[in-house]
């Protein structure tokens, strides 16, 4: 098999494996499990957005949920106030969030590390304060989102009702997640993605090799804002509601923890983050505040034993297993050689 053939095969596996995670949900088919899975997918998307800007390009931004909020509020207000077509409103929402992310990206060129993170926290705080105090945005009560506007897709007589609580909306969320996940996998393999990792590891060295750090950072902000927008819009259509609380600092912190636990910088991480969210935040047999505590204990254990998160831990274990198999193969080869000699 050629090198490009191997690469293509590996990419296909990396792109499509999260579909396996959907199997138990579809097999169960209960409304509650579908809702859990939709929430998991949305948190997977938040983690994915953060993974591009932080995991790939090394810019720790706490503003990703706020960017999703910008897209969500823009879309909702355009539809409710100006009766704009859904697709156009979504595009406008994503566009506005990308514009805001470009401002953040420009700020990241002047501020480094911790100082940029503080700036991103401030951006998120300003956004949440603005929508909490705006009558147009419905203050703390937020705005209702009309899911009835989601179309019924008809593919060759097969009806796909995106609004349906049982499966229809989950299928929409899953398709969106798979598309964004594929984007992230392919991004890592192309020069732009490699350049992001290079800028994260050593910006001066990268620039001596012709990589313009400014372009690469701004590109990572723009792409991550697209993913954050999609997550935000999916979330408000899932809850049929948009409230400032969705995009608060507490929620942003949760997305950060999920990504760290899942494995910062790994393309597998967002899907793993989605599973962690469902298991610890939805399915765990504990109530309310205890879930935060449970996640806290889980984070401590993972960070202590697998500093690279679950994805890093899986890779480490796989490497150890393959080296053990290699050693066993060499050992059995030697013993065969010895027995040949004895004969």
Partner 1 sequence: MQSEPLLELHEINRRYGGVVAVKDVTLDLRTGEICGLLGPNGAGKTTLVNLISGFTTPSSGRIRYRGKDIGRVGHTTRSRMGLVRTFQHARSFATMTVRESMSVAGTVPADHHRWFGLRGLTSIGTSDRTAHDLESLLERFGLTGWRDHPVASLPYGVKKTLGIAMAMMMEPQLLMLDEPAAGLNTSETTRLQGLVEDIRDLGVTVIVIEHNVPFILEICDRVAVMDNGELIAHAPPDEVMRDERVIGAYLGAA
Residue 192 or 299 having the CB closest to partner 1? 192
With binding defined as CB under 8 A, does residue 159 bind partner 1?
Answer: no
Q: Which of residues 60-99 bind partner 1 (CB under 8 A)?
A: none
* Token couple for 234: 């999916």
Token readout for 325 is 């198999």
Q: Which two tokens mark 245?
A: 């609380």
Is 241 an interacting residue with respect to partner 1 (CB under 8 A)?
Answer: no
From residue 96, give the alpha-carbon distance in Å to each of 67, 93, 100, 222, 242: 9, 5, 6, 11, 17
Query: Could you tell me if 225 and 67 are in contact, meaning their C-beta atoms sit under 8 angstroms apart?
Result: yes
Distance CA 121, CA 124 (A): 5
Tokens of 286: 């504990």
Distances (CA, A) of 98 to 48, 64, 173, 227, 258: 16, 11, 21, 10, 23
Binding mask 6-25 for partner 1 (x = CB under 8 A): -x---x--------------
> How far is the C-alpha of 116 from the C-alpha of 238, rounded, in Å?
32
The first and second tokens of residue 283, run together, are 């399915």
- Report the residue from 35, 80, 207, 282 that binds partner 1 according to the rule CB under 8 A: 207
Q: Which is closer to partner 1, CB of 147 or CB of 194?
A: 194
Site for partner 1 contains 210 (CB under 8 A): yes
- The tokens describing 9, both together, are 């095969």
Question: Hey, which residues between 250 and 269 contact partner 1 (CB under 8 A)?
Answer: 265
Q: Which position among 86, 91, 161, 197 is part of the footprint of partner 1 (CB under 8 A)?
A: 197
Q: Binding to partner 1 by residue 102, rule CB under 8 A?
A: no
Instruction: Find the shortest distance in angstroms from Cβ 202 to partner 1.
Output: 5
Judged by CB under 8 A, does residue 215 bind partner 1?
yes
CB nearer to partner 1: give 192 or 279.
192
219 touching partner 1, by CB under 8 A: yes
Residue 110 touches partner 1, criterion: CB under 8 A: no
Q: How far is the CB of 195 from partner 1 (least distance, A)?
A: 6
Helix (H, G, I), strand (E, B) or coil at 23: helix
Residues that bind partner 1 (CB under 8 A): 3-4, 7, 11, 186, 189-192, 194-195, 197-198, 200-202, 204-212, 215-216, 219, 265
């Amino acid at each position: 098999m050629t090198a490009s053939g191997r690469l293509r095969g590996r990419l296909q596996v990396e792109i499509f494996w999260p579909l396996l995670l959907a199997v138990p949900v579809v097999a169960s088919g209960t409304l509650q499990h579908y809702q859990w899975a939709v929430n998991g997918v949305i948190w997977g998307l938040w983690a994915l957005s953060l993974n591009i800007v932080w995991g790939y390009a090394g810019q720790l931004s706490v503003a990703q949920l706020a960017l999703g909020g910008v897209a969500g509020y823009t879309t909702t207000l355009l539809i409710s106030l100006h009766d704009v077509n859904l697709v156009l409103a979504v595009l406008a929402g994503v566009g506005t969030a990308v514009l805001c992310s470009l401002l953040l990206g420009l700020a990241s060129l002047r501020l480094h590390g911790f100082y940029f993170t503080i700036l991103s926290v401030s951006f998120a705080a300003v956004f949440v304060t603005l929508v909490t105090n705006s009558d147009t945005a419905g203050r703390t009560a937020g705005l209702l989102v009309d899911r009835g506007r989601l179309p019924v897709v008809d593919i060759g007589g097969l009806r796909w009702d995106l609004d349906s609580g049982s499966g229809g909306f989950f299928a929409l969320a899953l398709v969106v997640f798979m598309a964004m996940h594929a984007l992230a996998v392919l991004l890592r393999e192309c020069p732009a993605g490699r350049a992001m990792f290079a800028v994260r590891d050593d910006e001066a060295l990268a620039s001596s090799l012709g990589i313009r750090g400014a372009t690469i950072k701004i590109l990572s902000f723009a792409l991550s804002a697209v993913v954050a927008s999609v997550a935000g819009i999916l979330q408000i259509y899932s809850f049929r509601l948009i409230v400032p609380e969705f995009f608060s600092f507490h929620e942003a912190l949760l997305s950060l923890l999920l990504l760290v636990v899942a494995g910062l910088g790994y393309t597998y991480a967002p899907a793993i983050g989605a599973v962690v969210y469902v298991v610890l935040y939805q399915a765990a047999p504990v109530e309310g505040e205890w879930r935060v505590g449970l996640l806290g204990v889980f984070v401590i254990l993972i960070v202590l034993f697998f500093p690279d998160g679950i994805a890093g831990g899986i890779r480490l274990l796989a490497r150890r297993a393959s080296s053990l198999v290699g050693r066993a193969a060499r050992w059995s080869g030697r013993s065969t050689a010895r027995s040949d000699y004895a004969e």
